[in-house]
Structure 1
Amino acid sequence: FCRDYGWHGIWMAVFHSVSAFCNAGFDILGTANNLYPSLTGYEQNPIMNITIMLLIIIGGIGFLTWEDIYENKLQFRRYRMQSKVILIFTLILIIFPAIFFFFADFAALPIEARLQAALFQSVTTRTAGFNTVNLSVMSGSSQGIMILLMLIGGSPGSTAGGMKTTTFAVLLANIVATYRQQDSAHFFDRRVDCNAIKTASTILTMYIALFFWGGIFISAYENLPLSSCLYETASALGTVGLTLGITPQLHVPSQLILILLMYLGRVGSLTLMYAALSGKKAVNSKLPLEKITIG
């Protein structure tokens, strides 16, 4: 930034560093001719790409995980189960989408720049909100993967939004346990509490419902393709800030929907639900049990 903007670039560098670490995605690089450039002018700048990606990841894995890293260093076995799950799933959710983006998009770029673009778009969808390429020209399948990544988001106790990596991990572990006919989901020889699975299922259901119905409303009201509207609602609900370019042209009702989704995604829909039901007394009695067929 100092090279491009002189001494003013120092303050711009600080602003973008904080924005990246906090997974905010705000940038102040717009001009009269290019209002919303984000970091597209730096798609082939390795220093900018690596620095921003590291800040996003550092802010997105959670402070409890960093406490584990600080206390136990490279002794991975001594980490909490949650920290292990967060680090492994964060790595998976960065590498595999990046590989897909590399082969599905950015064919016009040189190999090194193509690798940077693929990695950056994989990292930034985890609620960071920056982009180094034009997202609207990416393939439909890549945009679909980005929607999933935006909904998953970062990790608990971090600066990131979304339904969190641990939620996604617990649901996958429960699927594996069900498939293997095991009594409970587990990680690293540690059993996952049933309440955690119930909470994860509830969060997933609420996120899918808000994401899907918000996209349908905007698509019907604005007469826009549903895929583009779902991208916007996933970005809002995950508090990401990425867009395919339709946000500036939306009318007030659609903007209010996005604002509501951003609020629910940041505060947490479960938090609001618990606040509404916290006054109710717990009931110790149980209703009669009866089986129901699933699937």
Structure 2
Amino acid sequence: MKIKSILNVAKWSPPRILVTGFALIILLGGLLLSMPFASSAGVSTPFMDALFTATSATCVTGLVVVDTGSHYSIPGQIIIITLIQVGGLGFMTMSTLFALVLRKRISLKERLILQEAFNQTSMEGIVRLIRRVILYSLSIELAGAVLFSVRWAFDMPLGKAVYFGVWHAVSFFNNAGFDLFGQFGTPFVSLVGYVHDPIVNLVTMLLIILGGLGFIVIADLMDYRKNKRLSLHSKVVLSATGILIGVGAFVIFVFEFTNDATLGSLSWGGKIWASFFQSVSPRTAGANTIDISSMRQATQFFIVILMFIGASPGSTGGGIKTTTFTTLVGAVIAMIRGREDIVMFRYRLGRERIFKALTITMLSLALVIFVTMVLSTTEDKAFIRILFETTSAFGTVGLTTGITPDLSLVGKILISLTMFAGRLGPLTLAYALGPRTEKELYRYPEGKMTIG
């Protein structure tokens, strides 16, 4: 890559601008969080720990090396929740918001970047979509904040309950998984104290699901009354989300039913709430109501699969996405049945969609495998815990078996890079860092080889 082309920002591709923008926000966040005013003790936080937290917040992951509630001061917590909001909606969405408020025109270049950020196939209606994204996000977060505030007003002073309500509504809707409950005496406790609480469970799960569905699906659902129909994308996302949550809850319930360290000691109501919560959370949210490290290895591995699949396109979540997973399943079914096309809801998928799904999956697998292998060398931890941590970082989930605070410097750097790659997507990174592709002038003759 030539230095001249690097300096000429105007000629940068949308993926490169997205990668650079996120990197600069993370760096700024790391610098602010390392300052003495950002910590509750009034001392500087080691820069690598601050940068790790900033990466986790901006990439809406939730993995932390220090407890958020007890380590950071109010200003530090506000910096973190701001990074979560900017990272969840995307910095281009936030800049578009300011442009709309100031009545500035959105340029063609900015529309192209927004198209890339929301994984859209065209620029048509992109600004209208951004307006709706901002409106839906703020409305859902406000509703969640009100419900949380009312519930926690019974446990803490009203002012603190409102602060906690707003803070956690933003965190959970953006699928970040950060929480402040560690300040009450037990670090890294998450929502374990509310495992039986129906309001906290239900509101949190709804925020996570709505954040993970994607803004395109939410807009489609809001228009359903008028249009009386859903797009293929929305049908696939809603079907896949429902099936994954249902199957996930059933598997977790069965595997952990007799485990006294997780579900075994809970009432029937607690078992059901916890099973569904732990099934929803791997959709890239990161909150938990039972101890993840005490789960059986079979359950932990199953959660690894859920985290790898992740949320849906155009959402605040990570992973390979539900549509990618559904496309791969559809390809397998089509091959077994001897059909040439993948058909979903009476629509045929184009070959470029299948190739994209395969590319995303293979690049993601390669990243998770590589990082897991390296961390298995640098960290003295069980393999399943390292695989869990790596997949959690890639899927921007934030669930952990408890090894995050003990990571070495190399481990922190690798997990930070994995979170960054997971938030932007391996394909976007490849487009951003790779050379500009040129159109092929000719095609090679078709060859044949035996497969399988």
Report the TM-score, using the length of structure 2 for normalisation.
0.63
Is 2:394 the counterpart of 1:256? no
Distance in structure 1 (CA, Å) of the matches to 2:429 and 2:364: 13
The 5 A counterparts of 1:157-196 are 157-196=314-353
Equivalent residue, structure 2, for 1:88? 239
Equivalent residue, structure 2, for 1:280? 437
Q: By how many angstroms is 1:276 displaced?
A: 3.4
- Deviations along 1:156-188, whole A, 9 cap, x unmatched? 111111110000000000111111111111101
Q: By how many angstroms is 1:57 displaced?
A: 0.5
SS of the aligned residue for 1:223 comes to coil
Provide the aligned C-alpha RMSD in A. 1.4
Match of 1:112 among 269, 274, 278: 269
Equivalent residue, structure 1, for 2:182? 30
Check whether the contact 1:147–1:231 (CA below 8 A) recurs between aligned residues: yes
Is 2:306 the counterpart of 1:149? yes
Equivalent residue, structure 1, for 2:220? 68
Q: By how many angstroms is 1:74 displaced?
A: 10
Is 2:365 the counterpart of 1:208? yes
Q: What is the one-letter code of the residue matched to 1:276?
A: L
The 3 A distance-change label for structure 1 pair 285 and 277 is farther
Distance in structure 2 (CA, Å) of the matches to 1:120 and 1:172: 25
SS of the aligned residue for 1:143 comes to helix
Q: By how many angstroms is 1:223 displaced?
A: 2.4
Q: What is the one-letter code of the residue matched to 1:88?
A: S
Equivalent residue, structure 1, for 2:401? 244
Q: By how many angstroms is 1:280 displaced?
A: 2.5
Distance in structure 2 (CA, Å) of the matches to 1:88 and 1:99: 17
The 3 A distance-change label for structure 1 pair 116 and 264 is same
Match of 1:53 among 197, 201, 205: 205
Check whether the contact 1:130–1:242 (CA below 8 A) recurs between aligned residues: yes
- Deviations along 1:246-281, whole A, 9 cap, x unmatched? 111111001111001000000111012122346231
Equivalent residue, structure 1, for 2:76? none
Aligned residues: 294
Q: What is the one-letter code of the residue matched to 1:236?
A: A
Deviates more, 1:52-61 or 1:3-12: 3-12
Deviates more, 1:208-217 or 1:241-250: 208-217
| Structure 2 gap ranges (5+) | 1-151, 257-262
Runs of 4+ in 1 over 6 A off after TM superposition: none
SS of the aligned residue for 1:161 comes to coil
SS of the aligned residue for 1:5 comes to coil
Distance in structure 2 (CA, Å) of the matches to 1:57 and 1:290: 45
- Deviations along 1:41-65, whole A, 9 cap, x unmatched? 1011011000100010011101111
Q: What is the one-letter code of the residue matched to 1:256?
A: I
Q: By how many angstroms is 1:16 displaced?
A: 0.6
Distance in structure 1 (CA, Å) of the matches to 2:382 and 2:237: 35
Report the TM-score, using the length of structure 1 for normalisation.
0.96
Equivalent residue, structure 2, for 1:16? 168
Is 2:281 the counterpart of 1:140? no
Find the structure with the greater CA-based Rg. 2
Q: What is the one-letter code of the residue matched to 2:249?
A: A
Identity of aligned residues (%): 39
Distance in structure 2 (CA, Å) of the matches to 1:189 and 1:278: 38
- Deviations along 1:168-221, whole A, 9 cap, x unmatched? 000000111111111111101100111111111111111111111211211221
Check whether the contact 1:216–1:226 (CA below 8 A) recurs between aligned residues: no
Q: By how many angstroms is 1:32 displaced?
A: 7.0
Q: By how many angstroms is 1:284 displaced?
A: 3.1
- Deviations along 1:103-146, whole A, 9 cap, x unmatched? 21112211000000000000001000100010011111111111
Distance in structure 1 (CA, Å) of the matches to 2:156 and 2:369: 42
Match of 1:126 among 283, 288, 294: 283
Distance in structure 2 (CA, Å) of the matches to 1:276 and 1:211: 19
Distance in structure 2 (CA, Å) of the matches to 1:85 and 1:74: 20
| Structure 1 gap ranges (5+) | none
